[in-house]
Structure 1
Amino acid sequence: MKPMDDDIHSRQRTGWKVLASNSAFFSKLGFTYDPPRFDANGELIRFYDTERMLRYHREMFARGVKLHSSLLFSGWIGDGKFDYAETDRVLSAIASLGPGVRYLPRVKFNAPLDWGKNHPEELCVYFDGPRDREGIRNLAGGLRQDILGYDGDGYYAINYRDDRPNRNGLIANQSFSSEVWRRDAVDALIRLIRHVQATPWHDMIIGWHIAYGNCGETALWGGFNQPVMRTGDFGISHRKAFFDWGMKCYGSLKKMRETWLLPELTRENIEPPPPSLRQGGTRNAEEFFRTSPAAQICIDYDRFLCEKDAESFEILCRAAKTADDRPAGGFYGYYLTLPRAAYAGHCAYDRVLNSPWIDFLCAPAGYYRRGVGEPGGEQVCAQSITRRKLFLDELDLRTHLAQEKPRAANWPETRYLLWREFARCLMYDNNFWWMDLGGGWFDSPEIAAEIGKLEKLARRLRKRSVPHFPAQVLILSSDEAFLYHRPSFDLHRDLMQETPAELQLCAVTIDHYRTSDLNSLPLDRYRLVIILNSFEPDSDAAAILTKGVAAETPILWMYASGRVHGDDPSGLPLKAFMPPPEFGIKFGNLPERRFLSEEHEYPMFGIDVSDSEDITVLARYSDGTPAAAECRRNGRLTLRVAVPLLSKFEFREILRRAGIQPYREGFAACYGNDRFHGIFEDGGSSFEFYEKLPGNQSRHLA
């Protein structure tokens, strides 16, 4: 057994090293209808011309990109039915790139449509859908089955017009808690691996990208943008799984009934909490932050969804690694850009990061403020991930050649985006893949040459030691916090997206970790610490920060962080603030900014300064209510910004109060470490990029 063990470890190490040290190229080669559908001739519906897609792969291969990725069909064409013709076609195409090519296949395991007909009790059912087996079966495969996970005119592909609109679904595809789906998906995965192992192409595969759910991104059906009332899984097996989970959690039916305020609860009549209880805008803080006893079932249901998603993800990765001894992973953890992250199943970070079976995570680059002259960003807490796993960033980068919008307007804008995304990823040693999601996004000599230049630079930078991160500011966020408030598109935009974006434009370098990383972070190196959304109970963040952060480093608590489920650790108590239809905020000597309250539908707060003489007000609402303040106690400066609507100008003032000197006077996004530094102009397409050299020297590259 020893030689086999050595061989296994060698393949694992090889795959890991390739993923860690090579950027990749991804195209729509291999895209088929998901779940699989067939045309009038019984042929599998697939999109995009193979030779055309392969031409883009060849160009990237010639420019030094040796790691390639695409969709690889699982072969699972029906319930208990398999066909690998499409699989072999893609494998052969990738292999034709030449010696030295490496391949990371993305394989989807959503159940075929006839599987749902045969297993209706295992399907996800929306709130307005049927609860009985035959009622679900009658909808399976029809137009009231949401087979994509989102409303649309059909499956989107350039030059393809779908004959099946996907709107107003009452049921979806497989439930993530379904043991039958997990069993059959694992079977399909192992069959696929056994098939590939018997082909000449097996050796080029360096890992398995596991995909399922909404867009293949391990997200529960309807988790991205479905109407509220279709959010939830009320399917037969899922309801029973929720009951069983509750019994395990609470230990007895009596305790579960008492906690969930359901005195007649049984395994037969259980229903997840309705969308009206779990979602919807409100300014009532008790309802919004789920602090009443009636909301405990909502907290538990979201936790259950996250655990079941992470469990399914782990089961499939374990099957892949056991069968093929190569790294396995997939998309996960989108809480920075997904308001319904808990419902989608993406808030079980610790379960996923602690799993020995999951080797890498990936996510598309953030879609919020990612254009030219904007900072870009991540959908996940990438630095937290890279402490325990590989992270691969999907650069959905729309060049001026893309048909899809928004996109760059011209070559200078495309070049700006190429270098900014390169710097953003390499700052934290994240890997990435260049993605052509439409066909031809990089199909020009100047873009190909620039990619070749960046790839050459990447190889040089990656050979140098692991970079020290010279970040001045630390942002802390929490995936766990999403269990403890209703999803809010308005609050999420303001607090989780707009706030980091505005801060990023202040020409400072920033680290971003989760609050659960606090115990092992070197906190004493930061000049400012910002807590975004610590709404979870029993958080020990304040105590850890007080002990670990240097005494001269200010701590800034954003919005209601730290005070929802316990004593306010900031020393700056909040009070309810009911905004008028239009309100303003004035920060110091800066001009007042005006807002419409209907665009910010969540509980708002002011700061109560009535009982303290040591509080300095920094900003006020237009009626005079304090909106931001600071106090100095026991030698430490603490700040509270009660409303998550700070601009880059206001952040600049906070940075000044913290004694932080920006890298430049104007506004810009800065990405860099001990190996390089990139400065990307706010609102324009100019940028600078320097490679740092020994002896405090640097080389200007762009």
Structure 2
Amino acid sequence: MNKIRTHIRITIFLALCISFDAQAQQQACATVKIKAGVPALYINGKAYPPYAYMSYLGEEKYYREVAAAGLHLYNIPAYLGDRGINSTSGIKPFRTAVWKGKGEYDYSSIIQDFEKLLRADPEAKVIIRFHLDPPVWWEKENPDAVCRLPDGSGYRTSYASRKWQQEAGEVLKKAIKWVMNSPYGAHLVGIHVAGGFTEEWFYHYKDLFYDESNVRKTAFRDWMKQRYANNTAALRKAWNDPAISFDQVQPADISGAERKREWRSTATDQRYFDTFDFQATTMADHIAWFCKIVKETSNNCLLTGAFYGYHYFVPDPRRGHGALAKLLNCPYLDYLSSPNDYNRVVGEDWAPMAAIKSVQLHGKLWLAENDTRTTLTTLLRDRAPAVAPAGDWYTNGVWIGPDKMETSVALLQKNLARMLAYGYGGWWFDMWGGWFSDPALLAVLKQGQQFFYQYPDTLFPAMQPQVAVVVDERLQSWDKDYGGLTATITGNRYALGKTGAPYDLYLRTDLNKVPAGKYKVIWLMGVMEPNKQEQMWITQWAAEGRMVIHTDGYATTIYDRKKLTQPTVINQLQWSATALGELWDRAGVHRYLDTEDVVYAGRGWVSVHTAKGGAKQVKLPFYARVTDPVTKETIVNFAKIVPLEMQPGTTRLLRVVPVTHPGKQ
């Protein structure tokens, strides 16, 4: 039977080869280079619009619509295994598994996706999102590589397993070679390496996390020997245990069965810090491992990327997203991604889930997953009942789009405006298909492509943010509440988004790279126990006239030049947009608006997204000619104040060009 199936697949593939132009097509080559101060996408040596389209169902009619809108970059899904992406919801697989058995591979789902896509758009350039979790048969044949629950039963592959990593890597390598040597090879430009819960490199678990497998214990001990340079004395001092040895160390219980509303201490809880760091670096190492395979297999011609670094939104350290700083040093990684913040209401900033200024600082492109619900959004059970799980997991809450088409347009415009103003890209994620299938919505997708060519990307130094926010991705490791306390602090992102002033978000590990001279406010938000060097920087910045705000887990301290010796200490962790705006005014930060609307500003773009609407007076940092980039209407010819009249639940996008006097551009 296996021989028959293999023969059928080979026959289909050969038939497809014949259907293509006999002339060999050149392999595309994609990379990321710095352009106008930020990482940018290049394909075959030319700057390329960093906007793509993806759908889990991948229907030809929707491909045709986005191609007509000018998009030619696509993501398609592929799966080594045979499970759904969400191990909690019970969702079924979107595609058949590639990895059928030892040495047996089935590329039919990839063939079908390419065929549908290329019929709709012969110019298509494709990034394949490969989910690298293994199939069920592999786990049955490799019980030592599976997580062990307290009762001894198994639960999904242990990410501590080197055997899974190596064998999945070999399968990925074969799949890449197959695609590159197929008639579709000329259209392939990248591989998005995916794994874990929802393809986002989260550990699989439900309410509690357990992995008591020997493979995890062994991996942890090996990792600890490296961390402490095999120095037993250093281990005993750190763990406050005079008898411990490397052969005895075991990960701490991070199941979450016990939690408290308090912070851990470095003096007594180092075992937990080490366990969480192991948890995170293990995932980051997997991403680096698979990205290296992609680069080596493609002779450095394929783009590499992954979901990772969700410290600004996912506060639970068990998920494994606490090693972004390490991953940013990976030479094989080109881009990182996350969905936008899931507080999907009108009038809020849907920020990316990571410190994207640090991502850009390290030369990595940021690509947002714009899985924005619209009035056309349908339920999975209606679009693909064979895939949808039982129950109501995908039927309410965030899965429901807005009632009005006008609101849907405004939300897509907000997505686009944020990408334009801060120099990154993303893909329009049409999850079940048809979410953007309306002329008004497709027009927004088209605008992104048009603006890329009509308005060359420029740094615009006068528009650069004057506020720097510094966050610690390891803050969640301190949190005995497994994210409850951490979320209180990182929840300040909602107020930050409505101060009327843009801000740059850095990792604590990049504090030495923060160009303090360009910022009037530096907020260390959620930075526990600053070391001596960090304390010196705080003092230095305040002495230079910067306002420095330091929020740890207990209070907020505000330093400025007038109160350098007696800083203000406030027993407060969360701030309102109004209170932050008052601090910004005190520090002399330029605010485009003071109405608590969402403002994006930078690189020649200003956008206002409002829940309430009304008259707005947008204040620019220079005299400018301001136009509507869609209608080409001139709003002001020479002004610092831009009057806008806005309806509730709308977004306005403005193009600003500095001018020295009326009539000059």
TM range (shorter): 0.7 to 0.9
1:109-137 deviation per Cα after TM superposition (whole angstroms, max 9, x unaligned): 101111111111111234x342xxxxx4x
Which of 576, 579, 588 is the equivalent residue of 1:650?
A: 579
Question: Structure 1, unaligned stretches of length 5 or more?
Answer: 1-6, 30-47, 131-135, 137-170, 561-604, 607-626
CA 1:73/1:506 → structure 2, altered by over 3 Å: closer, same or farther? same
TM-score, normalising length: structure 2: 0.77
CA contact (8 A) 1:494 1:645 kept: yes
**Do residues 63 (structure 1) and 69 (structure 2) align?**
yes
Aligned-partner SS, 1:441: coil
- Report the equivalent of 2:649: 685
CA contact (8 A) 2:52 2:71 kept: yes
Question: Structure 2, unaligned stretches of length 5 or more?
Answer: 1-25, 34-39, 81-97, 380-398, 613-647
503-512 vs 486-495, greater mean Cα deviation: 486-495
CA 1:631/1:363 → structure 2, altered by over 3 Å: closer, same or farther? closer
Aligned-partner SS, 1:110: coil
**Do residues 433 (structure 1) and 362 (structure 2) align?**
no
CA contact (8 A) 2:53 2:429 kept: yes
Post-superposition offset of 1:629: 6.9
- After TM superposition, the structure 1 = structure 2 runs for residues 413-432 of structure 1, keeping only pairs within 5 Å, are 413-432=407-426
Aligned-partner SS, 1:96: helix
Aligned-partner SS, 1:656: helix
**Do residues 195 (structure 1) and 178 (structure 2) align?**
yes
Aligned-partner SS, 1:26: strand
- After TM superposition, the structure 1 = structure 2 runs for residues 159-558 of structure 1, keeping only pairs within 5 Å, are 171-222=154-205, 226-227=206-207, 230-250=208-228, 251-253=230-232, 256=235, 259-260=238-239, 270-275=249-254, 280-283=259-262, 288-293=263-268, 295-324=269-298, 325=300, 326-340=302-316, 342-368=317-343, 370-388=344-362, 389-403=364-378, 405-461=399-455, 463-468=456-461, 469-497=463-491, 499-535=492-528, 538=531, 540-548=533-541, 551-558=544-551
One-letter code aligned to 1:116: E
CA contact (8 A) 2:54 2:427 kept: no
Aligned-partner SS, 1:377: coil
- Report the equivalent of 2:51: 24
**In structure 1, distance between residues paired with 2:309 and 2:223:** 22
**In structure 2, distance between residues paired with 1:442 and 1:338:** 27
Aligned-partner SS, 2:361: coil
**In structure 1, distance between residues paired with 2:28 and 2:570:** 50
Post-superposition offset of 1:644: 1.8
TM-score, normalising length: structure 1: 0.73
- Report the equivalent of 1:152: none
One-letter code aligned to 1:334: Y
Post-superposition offset of 1:442: 0.4
**In structure 2, distance between residues paired with 1:698 and 1:346:** 51
One-letter code aligned to 1:58: R
483-492 vs 430-439, greater mean Cα deviation: 483-492
CA 1:422/1:641 → structure 2, altered by over 3 Å: closer, same or farther? farther
One-letter code aligned to 1:646: W
Post-superposition offset of 1:219: 1.7
One-letter code aligned to 2:108: A
CA contact (8 A) 1:21 1:431 kept: no
1:626-671 deviation per Cα after TM superposition (whole angstroms, max 9, x unaligned): x877776675884444322322222233233323353224221110
Aligned-partner SS, 1:391: strand
CA contact (8 A) 1:680 1:688 kept: yes
CA 1:637/1:651 → structure 2, altered by over 3 Å: closer, same or farther? farther
Post-superposition offset of 1:440: 1.0
CA contact (8 A) 1:363 1:392 kept: yes
Post-superposition offset of 1:212: 0.8
Q: Which has the higher contact order (CA 8 A, sep 6+)?
A: 2
**In structure 2, distance between residues paired with 1:258 and 1:695:** 63
CA contact (8 A) 2:368 2:425 kept: yes
Post-superposition offset of 1:403: 2.6
1:430-459 deviation per Cα after TM superposition (whole angstroms, max 9, x unaligned): 111111112211011221223223331233
Aligned-partner SS, 1:427: helix
Post-superposition offset of 1:299: 0.6
Which of 602, 605, 628 is the equivalent residue of 1:676?
A: 605
- Report the equivalent of 1:91: 114
Post-superposition offset of 1:548: 4.6
CA 1:631/1:433 → structure 2, altered by over 3 Å: closer, same or farther? closer
CA contact (8 A) 2:261 2:484 kept: no
CA contact (8 A) 1:552 1:637 kept: no
The alignment of Structure 1 onto Structure 2 pairs a total of residues equal to 554
Post-superposition offset of 1:394: 0.6
176-185 vs 662-671, greater mean Cα deviation: 662-671
CA contact (8 A) 1:208 1:327 kept: yes
Q: CA RMSD in A?
A: 3.0
Which of 138, 145, 153 is the equivalent residue of 1:122?
A: 145
**In structure 1, distance between residues paired with 2:532 and 2:324:** 16
Post-superposition offset of 1:476: 1.0
Post-superposition offset of 1:529: 1.7
CA contact (8 A) 1:12 1:327 kept: yes
One-letter code aligned to 2:147: C
One-letter code aligned to 1:557: H
1:212-238 deviation per Cα after TM superposition (whole angstroms, max 9, x unaligned): 11111112223xxx32xx214322201
Post-superposition offset of 1:187: 0.9
- After TM superposition, the structure 1 = structure 2 runs for residues 93-112 of structure 1, keeping only pairs within 5 Å, are 93-112=116-135
**In structure 1, distance between residues paired with 2:434 and 2:306:** 25
- After TM superposition, the structure 1 = structure 2 runs for residues 581-596 of structure 1, keeping only pairs within 5 Å, are none
